[in-house]
Structure 1
Amino acid sequence: MTEGRMKSTTEEAAPVQMYNLQNPEPRAPREDKRSSRPTHYMTSFHIVLEKETRMLGAAQVMVGLIHCALGYFWIQLYIREFDSISIDYLPITLLSGYPFWAFLFFVISGIFAIEAEKTSSPKLLKYTIRVNTHSSVLAIIGLFLIGLEIILSLMKQVKIVWIQRSGMMLSVYLWLFSILELFLAITVIGLGNQAFYHTSNLI
């Protein structure tokens, strides 16, 4: 009797065990802590600049070299024709050293713009914006000095000889390239601020 009862109890329990093995209870999925973390923090270390920034930087370097060349020609003309120029024409732009200051700042601004586009570094981009801001201010000062120089020479109402005309042409070329540098510097500043604004929206 006891053996029969044990067999009956095992036979009754067996289907229950098979049912548990065939239909296990569903488990709640584990939350992946890594996937739940925000991934936007990666963008704070990488700033996307427009590709035109490198071209603008190269143009700034070229403008700086042109300023240096025009300043060199002005010095040679001033040294050789000092007696003729110093009487009726006052080269304010040359005496202030603007062509060479502009050469230094414009070339540095262009190099910073090129490197900022290559590395996409936020810190380097900040320096690029600052240097281009100084370059734009220097270009405005140069435009004022060149304009003052030409106006003073025209107000004297004297006959302009070829030497003075040559100096005035060099100053006019400096004026034109200063306008170009001002445009380039403002454009680089705008692109840099746009990159910072776009990155701050992603974070």
Structure 2
Amino acid sequence: MPTTQPNVHENINSLFLPPPYQPSSSSIVLNQFQNGPQPFVISGIFTNGQPIQGNIQTVDPIVGTKSRSFTTEAKTLGAMQITIGLFHFGLGIVLGLLCINYLNVMTFWSLAFFTGYPFWGGLSFIITGALSVAAINQPNLCLIRGSLGMNIMSAIFVFFGVIFLLIDEGINGTYQQDFWAVLSGRGISALLAIFSVVEFIINCITVHLAKQAIRTSEL
């Protein structure tokens, strides 16, 4: 029987006719991934007909391969190494002046000065810091390897230098020596020992950063 409601046939046909095609959000994202100029890192869950639950981030492959820790920290550490090397030179000269005898009076006797540790140790610290700064200004794998090797060598120099300075603290202080010369010499030896320990810590940190930079560049 014909019905008086004209919308009944339209509602019945809409139940059996397929809905118009609508591209899913996952196919849109895949088309953008194929045609886009930059790669994407997509985190989330793909569901047909449902929006993506997650974030889409753009990754720069050039920036991702750089060792940011080495470039940001090694320059400061290199400047500190150069400063410590200059302090070694200055304190070594003062320590040498305290070792000079006058009026047949025994003054401070320094094994560290006679072995030349304040000078060859300070020179190695300056060269090590300069290599670290040069590796930042001109990024080069050879400079980073050179900085790594010099930091290891400087750490070895510090080991022997601290031993010499501790010997200086122990062998001085007899009644035949000048009191003020011994007191000043011990103070300078203590300062050199403190700077040497700081240099050793900087060496260890720079070696770790240089190894990370070399490992990152070889990937």
TM-score (norm 1): 0.69
For residue 111 of structure 1, report the CA deviation from its aligned partner: 0.1
Name the one with the larger helix percent: 1
SS in 1 for 2:109: coil
Secondary structure at the aligned position of 1:124 is classed as helix
Task: Indicate the residue corresponding to 1:28 in structure 2.
Answer: none
Residue 121 of structure 2 aligns with which residue? 102
Partner SS for 2:105: helix
CA–CA distance in structure 2, aligned partners of residues 90 and 82 of structure 1: 16
Q: Which runs of 4+ in 1 moved over 6 A?
A: 157-160
Query: What is the CA–CA distance in structure 2 between the aligned matches of 1:170 and 1:113, rounded to whole Å?
Result: 28
**Closer, same or farther: CA 82–108 of 1 in aligned 2, 3 Å:** farther
> Hey, what's the Cα distance between the residues in 2 that align with 1:83 and 1:176?
32
Alpha-carbon distance in structure 1 between the residues aligned to 2:131 and 2:155: 14
1:58 to 79, 92, 108: 79
Residues in 1 aligned to 2:201 and 2:159: alpha-carbon distance in whole angstroms: 11
Contact 1:57 1:110 in 2 (8 A): yes
Equivalent AA in structure 1 for residue 179 of structure 2: V
Cα distance between partner residues in 2 of 1:115 and 1:128: 9
Q: 1:81 to 1:187 in 2, by over 3 A?
A: farther
Secondary structure of the 1:51 match is helix
Give the aligned residue type for 1:138.
F
Counterpart among 137, 149, 154 of residue 118 in structure 1: 137
| From 157, 160, 169, the counterpart of 1:138 | 157
- Residue from 92, 105, 108 that aligns with 2:111: 92
More strand by percentage: 2
- Shift of residue 102 of structure 1? 1.1
Q: Which runs of 5+ in 2 are unaligned?
A: 1-61
| Residue in 1 that maps onto 2:167 | 148
Deviations, residues 132-153 of structure 1 (Å, cap 9, x unaligned): 1111100111011111221223
TM-score by length of 2: 0.64
Shift of 1:120: 1.7
In the superposition, relative to structure 1, how do residues 79 and 90 fare at CA in structure 2: closer, same or farther (>3 Å)? Answer: closer
- Tell me how far apart the structure 1 counterparts of residues 190 and 67 of structure 2 sit (CA, whole Å): 39
Cα distance, 1:83 vs structure 2: 4.1
Q: How does 1:44-55 map to 2 (within 5 A)?
A: 49-55=70-76
How big is the alpha-carbon RMSD for the aligned residues of Structure 1 and Structure 2? 2.5
User: How many pairs align?
Assistant: 156
Q: Which has the larger radius of gyration?
A: 1
Distance in structure 2 (CA, Å) of the matches to 1:95 and 1:46: 45
Partner of 1:77: 98
**1:128 and 2:147 are equivalent in the alignment:** yes
The higher-RCO structure (CA 8 Å, 6+ apart) is: 1
Deviation of the 1:157 alpha carbon? 7.6
Partner of 2:196: 178
Residue 77 of structure 1: CA displacement? 2.2
Alpha-carbon displacement from aligned partner over 1:110-147 (angstroms, at most 9, x marks no partner): 00000112222111111110011111100111011111
Counterpart residue number, 1:192: 210
SS in 1 for 2:71: coil
CA distance in 1, matches of 2:95, 2:209: 35
Unmatched segments (≥5 aa) in structure 1: 1-41
